[in-house]
Amino acid sequence: MKILVTGGVGYIGSHTVVDLIENGHDIVILDNLCNSKIEVLDKIKEITGKAPAFMVGDIRNRSDVDNVFNTHHDIDAVIHFAGLKAVGESCEKPLLYYDNNIAGTVTLLKSMSAHGCKRIVFSSSATVYGDPATVPVTEDFPLSTTNPYGSTKLYIEQILKDLCASDSEWDATLLRYFNPVGAHESTLLGENPNGIPNNLMPYIMKVACGKLEKLHIFGDDYPTADGTGVRDYIHVCDLAHGHTLAISKLDGLKIYNLGTGTGYSVLDMVKAFEKANNIKLPYCIDPRRPGDVAVNFADPAKAKEELGFEATRTLEDMCRTSYEFAKKNFK
């Protein structure tokens, strides 16, 4: 298939482009590089031997999106990663998030429709489950959000549901990611956030490389085995492959959790990272972070049954590849 990947230069997008190319697909990337670096394209070529077509542009700009479809007439489907993702920033700048994520998606969908391309895989998030009443979480759990970033994911899901209901020609698969971590085995691709990271694994990576002094664990009084928050960490290469499976099974409206089904606490992560990399990670206990939930992990059974999706990489793989990437790439 010929696939347009929006946000394909970013963390999850770049790993997915590699997996798609390795599975024989032809890729066109549209990215405005607001949170990624153009050098990633060379890394993708180094890994796969093939350079994806790239157009710099913004999904909010209709002419940028039209330009992609006018240049590449035969796009079969879109995988839509482009979006802003920092929860804290979304609380400070909600209009930026609604404009970039929601208005951007609407513009993308209008252009797709005008060019007769009505097949999309969308990057949603486990954040749409809010504070789940029980775990593991299945796709039919009630949906809610606690911040503007989460609201953008929820609203875009609704837009895609409405679109599929209005026109049977649309196929939309909503992939609800749990916590993607890790890096490509080559150490050429990985997550390299600017400034102080919000998420656990990039923060651990910065501490491990001596860029930050110690990890601040947000709360040790949750109702979990060791008191720290529990999440479902999934290797980004497993997550990436989920998109390759999903794109080949687009059929009406589909929703899948992409996780491993296993929850690990923050302290479990610290211990696993120390063991995998034979290093010591200094940490301290801080108060809970506002808006955090105690436990969230997936029931991945539906993705396994319908897509054949199964995360195969271990926690050790996640910790080892993260550190290897950080050592080579954190300046």
217 binds, among ligand UDP, ligand NAD, none (CB under 5 to 8 A by kind): ligand UDP
Residues between 118 and 147 that touch ligand NAD (CB under 6 A)? 123, 125
Q: Which stretch binds ligand NAD (CB under 6 A): 11-19, 88-96, 217-225, 268-276?
A: 11-19
266 binds, among ligand UDP, ligand NAD, none (CB under 5 to 8 A by kind): ligand UDP
Distance CA 328, CA 309 (A): 31
**Of 278, 272, 180, 286, nearest in space to 228 by CA:** 286
* Per-residue binding letters, 38-67, with ligand NAD (x by CB under 6 A): --------------------xxx-------
- Note the residues at the interface with ligand UDP (CB under 6 A): 179, 198-200, 203, 216-218, 229, 231, 266, 289, 292
Q: CB of residue 199 vs ligand UDP: minimum separation in angstroms?
A: 3
Q: How many CB atoms lie within 10 A of CB 181?
A: 28
Are 48 and 273 a contacting pair, CB within 8 Å?
A: no
Distance CA 211, CA 213 (A): 7
- Which H or E element spans position 262? none
Residues between 92 and 121 that touch ligand NAD (CB under 6 A)? 100, 104
Q: Does 180 bind ligand NAD (CB under 6 A)?
A: yes
Q: Of these residues, 11, 97, 129, 149, which one is catalytic? A: 149
- Total residues contacting ligand NAD (rule CB under 6 A)? 26
188 binds, among ligand NAD, ligand UDP, none (CB under 5 to 8 A by kind): none
Point out which residues pair with 321 in neighbouring strands: none
Q: CB of residue 84 vs ligand NAD: minimum separation in angstroms?
A: 6
Give whole-number Cα distances, 198 to 46, 158, 256, in Å: 30, 27, 25
Distance CA 1, CA 272 (A): 39
Q: Count of residues for the chain? A: 331
Question: What's the sign of the alpha-carbon dihedral 279, 280, 282, 283?
Answer: positive
User: Residue 168: CB partners within 8 Å, gap ≥ 6?
Assistant: 252
The question of whether 222 is a catalytic residue gets the answer no
Of the two residues 102 and 270, which places its CB atom closer to ligand UDP in the complex? 270
**Of 182, 199, 207, nearest in space to 281 by CA:** 207
Of the two residues 36 and 260, which places its CB atom closer to ligand NAD in the complex? 36
Q: Which residues are catalytic?
A: 149
Chain residues binding ligand NAD by CB under 6 A are: 7, 9-13, 31-36, 58-60, 81-85, 100, 104, 123, 125, 177, 180
